[in-house]
Amino acid sequence: MSVCLFLTFRFPAAPAAADEIVKLEKVLRTTPKVQKVLIHTSTDASDPYLKDASPPQLVLQLYFGDVLDLEAVLSRNGHIGMLTSRTEFPVMAAADVVQQAMIVRPFAVPAPALQTARGAPYCTYLVSYEGEAEDLNAWHSHYLDRHIKHMARFPGIRELEVYTRLDWVSSVPWTRLNFMQRNKVAFDSPEALTQALHSPVRHEMRADYKTFPLFTGPNTHYAMATRVVHPRVPD
């Protein structure tokens, strides 16, 4: 089962300039043993139930085959530590950055092939459950057995992943998070995500949400424009 490193950046002023993003992509593509890298930037979609304010300007997802590969790039003098260099990445190094490693749980969807132009961004909905469940086993059992079945029926859905907690070691001096769960659903465009969120499936999900086992803490939903940085699509 693969693991994923989430890095979330909030910039005190303007986000990183284009030249810094180009350097960032080079660092990400050359990360040892990384299997896939996604860059998410904020976009807009309409949810009939939710409107979470202040999305992060930048979220990175780095997928690895196992936790040892992930920990290696976060070790002292590891590859990802380059992003903390104020010389190479002055804006990103000044950002408020948080990290979390998680187990990836992919689920099948009816039509997984994204219908985007080569290299063009698509749209994802990043969801996080940031608190604690009264009974985490009961929480995950309900979500993975019941709630996922609703999500997989979203019209136009291309990808569905759930991420659960993992203990990991990191020497990079970013704040560590311990969210109990994250989810990601992917669509061809913000319009396709909006259409799905206004479908009957969203109302079914809201009804099921009210039957969740008890939990605390915020639950956030952010629409993001997503690009695959690695592996690169050939020209």
Domain assignment of residue 57, yes or no: yes
**Cα separation, 229 vs 209, whole angstroms:** 34
The helix (H) or strand (E) run that includes residue 25 is: helix 18-29
**Cα separation, 178 vs 117, whole angstroms:** 36
Coil, strand, or helix at residue 16?
coil
**Cα separation, 193 vs 224, whole angstroms:** 10
Domain assignment of residue 235, yes or no: no
**Cα separation, 152 vs 165, whole angstroms:** 22
* Domain CATH code at residue 203: 3.30.70.100
The total number of structural domains in the chain stands at 1
Coil, strand, or helix at residue 6?
strand
By CB atoms closer than 10 A (0-12, 13-18, 19+), residue 21 is middle
- Domain range enclosing 40: 3-230
Question: Over its length of 235 residues, how does the chain's per-residue pLDDT go in tens digits?
Answer: 899 999 999 998 877 778 899 999 999 999 999 999 999 999 999 999 988 888 999 999 999 999 999 999 999 999 999 999 999 999 989 999 999 999 999 999 999 988 877 678 999 999 999 999 999 999 999 999 999 999 999 999 999 999 999 999 999 999 999 999 999 999 999 999 999 999 999 999 999 999 999 999 999 999 999 999 999 765 5
Domain assignment of residue 211, yes or no: yes
What pLDDT, in 10s, does the model give residues 129-181? Answer: 999 999 999 999 999 999 999 999 999 999 999 999 999 999 999 999 999 99
Domain assignment of residue 118, yes or no: yes
